[in-house]
A and B are shown apart, each in its own frame.
Chain A
Amino acid sequence: MKKFAVVAAMATAFLGSTAYAAELEVTHWWTSAGEAAAIAEFAKVFEEETGNTWVDSALAGSGTGANPVIISRIIGGNPMGATQMNTGRDAEELIQAGLMRDLTDVVADLDIDSFYVDQDLLEPCRYEGGLYCLPINIHSWDWLWLSTAAYEKIGQPVPTDWNEYVASWPALQEAGILPFALGTGWPINGVPGVLMAGIGGTDLVMQVNRDKSADAVRGPEFRKVAEAMDMLRSVVSPETMVPSFGDAGNQLLTGDAAGNIHGDWLQGDLQIAGGVPGEDYECLPALGLGTQLTGGGDSFYFPVLPEGTDPAVIEAQEQLARILISPEAQLKFNLVKGSMPIRTDIDLSGANACMTKALALLDNGLLPSGDFSLSSDTQKQLEDLNLEFIADDNITVDDYIERYASIIEQAD
């Protein structure tokens, strides 16, 4: 059906309909239940306020599968009206090559500097005085999700930090409960960053992600992180992995698995599945150990459209840009998505328990996450390493540290 709608939309576009309402194609990779519900909020506000049509092009495969499609469409001269991408360096060359639209004038009267909660968020969007993207939320990987049902089964209180959680593993395994739920593929890739912030602390994150210091990776603090990865490896096996992170979330709700480290977008799925924070699941930001979250998030980019594009579409781009960061859309979107808004001058009383915890930590400032400060090339290499490490017990902790260090050494 969706395909039909897109084709129909394209067909009418080619026929050159002269209607005032423009159709703006928006690409994103928000395909899980919670994510799809969140992006629908943006679409609703956009269509209600402007009368334009939001043509939804959801791409499967998250950052690893959808990002390449988005990039090759832009490079290949077939740009969409607007696209979501991770806040960070994935699009930096597209910006440098002049393929993205400068939004400085579009948002000039909004005084965005005054309400963005952390100015660092805008940093990747700025290039030679222009503003080429708009961060629309703050995402953090730094969450340990715990299943209330699983701990009821073994008759223990739900842990309050990482160390208690690790200590509960033997009891869980004895009861036939999976200590750590994990989706196949990319989800493991976020885990070292979380361990780094929670166990290693702020300094380690800064040294590794921002300064790209290989010495810090070889140091004692990172060793703790690698050892924690090794512990995780001991309770995770390919047979117990589930196809996606959403399935891992379901395992938590049913009590089949006890815990999971995953980004806050998991919460959207937990809520759609009927989970209530504090009752069905618990959340521990920064593993219950740290005081700061590493943050990245999502941004919207508006590619430069080819000559001869209907001016109404170009205007629709501008309207969408302004709506995305408006208080109303920010509130509706982030409450569903489970992410933190980019502005805190809005009424967040609707936020649930987990989001409230996150908002409190936000005041301490954000730490740069890996996808925020490392190039996609470096991220890809780290992903390969993490995938290999978690599946292959023959790679020792020392090997892991050394290989991590050599990737960081060559990072740019």
Chain B
Amino acid sequence: MADVATQPAQGTETSTRPGFIQRLFLHNITAKVAALPMIATVLVIFVGCTAWTIYYSFTSSRLLPRNDFVGFDQYVRLFGTNRWNISITNLLMYGSMSLVLTLTLGFLLAVLMDQKIRFESAFRTIMLYPFALSFIVTGLVWQWIMNPTLGLQGTMRNLGWTGFTFDWISNPRMVLFALLIAGLWQGVGFCMVLMLAGLRGVDEEIWKAAKVDGIPTWRTYISIVLPMMRGVLITSVVIIGSGIVRLYDLVVALTNGGPGISSEVPAKYVYDYMFGGGNIGQGLAASTMMLLSVMIIMIPWAYLEFGGKGRR
């Protein structure tokens, strides 16, 4: 019917179907015109800048970009750098823990919230509130709380519990968990709200049917409701995942990569070498690797998700 609407009313009785090119451009033309700014943005900003990034990661650019190709030198140096390798390990550890815990806790909280409790909106606001704070504020708040001499540990010891120890932030082996606490505190509320919306989207009839069949509530949640929330789950994973890959401000505010370099992350490496070290080539090589890691996860998923439909 869109065809009819956009068919130019020329009155010619050619009944031949429009060619492919014509269809590509003229089919639903208003929508296409409306999408032009977005298409331009995607092409110039996303594709264009990505291409620029990859291109210059093969050059010896320092403070300013220049066309002096050095092949894979930047990448060789990158993977020979201890700090980068530590950054990757940290991101993998933090990322897997953060993804699993945010989803689990978010879902659990949403289920609890879904029990038709009193003051639900008040609880929802409280849980979502940390998300309204920037990572910098979150990081600084938790930095004070976890500071061994000024924060929780110091307070407990002053109260008389002298054996109390909570020094994760200054312990190279535990610092990632300190990051995780702050990250979860900030992110779980948002995940909960998404999940709650998903839960509310499930038809009441399904619940009634499950009740009639005598299926326990927990089983209904896991085997029936959860699979029905697929869309919400995927949205949550993408949002949490992108938050993990670009993890930067939390680290800067909470630990600044310390103690030593034990809580460094890739995004911080990119920034530090691009601007602090004045080495664009090295920074871009690192960001290209970050892009690559995202692609490795996204492409198989996108193929599974959308690949089938195209051939249907």
Contacts and interface: CB of A to CB of B under 8 A. Distances in A.
A238 B278 contact: no
B64 interface: yes
Contacts of B279: 376-377, 380
Interface in B124-172: 148-149, 167, 170-172
A265 B112 CA distance: 57
Contacts of A238: 170-172, 258-260
Interface in B235-252: none
A93 B258 CA distance: 30
B278 A387 contact: no
B46 to A, nearest CB: 21
A365 interface: no
A87 to B, nearest CB: 16
Interface string B270-312: 0111011111001000000000000000000000000000000
B167 A384 contact: no
Given A238-B171, A391-B172, A377 B262 contact: no
Contacts of B81: 381, 384
Interface of B: 62-64, 77, 81-83, 148-149, 167, 170-172, 256-262, 271-273, 275-279, 282
A107 B277 CA distance: 31
Given A93-B64, A238-B170, A384-B83, A68 B260 contact: no
Nearest to A75: B64
Given A67-B276, A377-B282, A388 B261 contact: yes
B259 A391 contact: yes
B276 A391 contact: no
A232 interface: no
A72 B77 CA distance: 25
A67 B274 CA distance: 12
Nearest to B77: A410
Given A377-B282, A392-B260, A403-B82, 7 more contacts: A239-B149, A375-B62, A377-B277, A377-B279, A380-B279, A390-B260, A392-B262
A68 B149 CA distance: 32
B275 A387 contact: no
Nearest to B170: A238
B260 A375 contact: no
A185 B256 contact: yes
Given A238-B171, A384-B83, A377 B261 contact: no
Interface in A248-304: none
Contacts of A381: 81, 277
Given A238-B172, A377-B62, A68 B275 contact: yes
A175 to B, nearest CB: 19
B82 A380 contact: no
A391 B262 CA distance: 9
Contacts of A387: 257-258, 260-261
A376 B276 contact: yes
Given A94-B63, A239-B167, A392 B172 contact: yes
B6 to A, nearest CB: 44
Contacts of A207: none
A184 interface: yes
A410 B63 CA distance: 17
Contacts of A403: 82
Given A377-B62, A391-B172, A185 B278 contact: no
7 contacts: A93-B62, A239-B149, A375-B62, A379-B277, A391-B260, A391-B261, A403-B82
A13 B167 CA distance: 50
Contacts of A15: none
A168 B149 CA distance: 26
Interface in A290-333: none
A384 B83 CA distance: 7
Contacts of A379: 277
B141 to A, nearest CB: 15
Contacts of A396: none
Contacts of A64: 272, 276
A90 B279 CA distance: 11
A377 B281 CA distance: 11
Contacts of B272: 64, 380
A122 interface: no
A184 B63 CA distance: 27
Contacts of B170: 237-239, 241
3 smallest CB-CB distances across A and B, nearest first, come from: A391-B260, A68-B275, A380-B277
Nearest to B262: A391
Nearest to A399: B82
Contacts of A185: 256, 258
A384 B259 CA distance: 11
Contacts of A112: none
A209 B272 CA distance: 22
A402 to B, nearest CB: 12
Contact of A93 (B63, B82, B259, B260): B63
Nearest to B256: A185
Contacts of B260: 238, 387-392
Nearest to A392: B260
Contacts of A380: 272-273, 276-277, 279
Contacts of A72: 275
A97 interface: yes
Nearest to B80: A406
B239 to A, nearest CB: 29
A389 B282 CA distance: 22
A9 interface: no
A391 to B, nearest CB: 2
A376 B262 contact: no
A71 interface: yes
A389 B171 CA distance: 15
B163 to A, nearest CB: 16
A253 to B, nearest CB: 18
Interface string A233-245: 0000111010000
A177 to B, nearest CB: 16
Nearest to B167: A239
Interface in A11-42: none
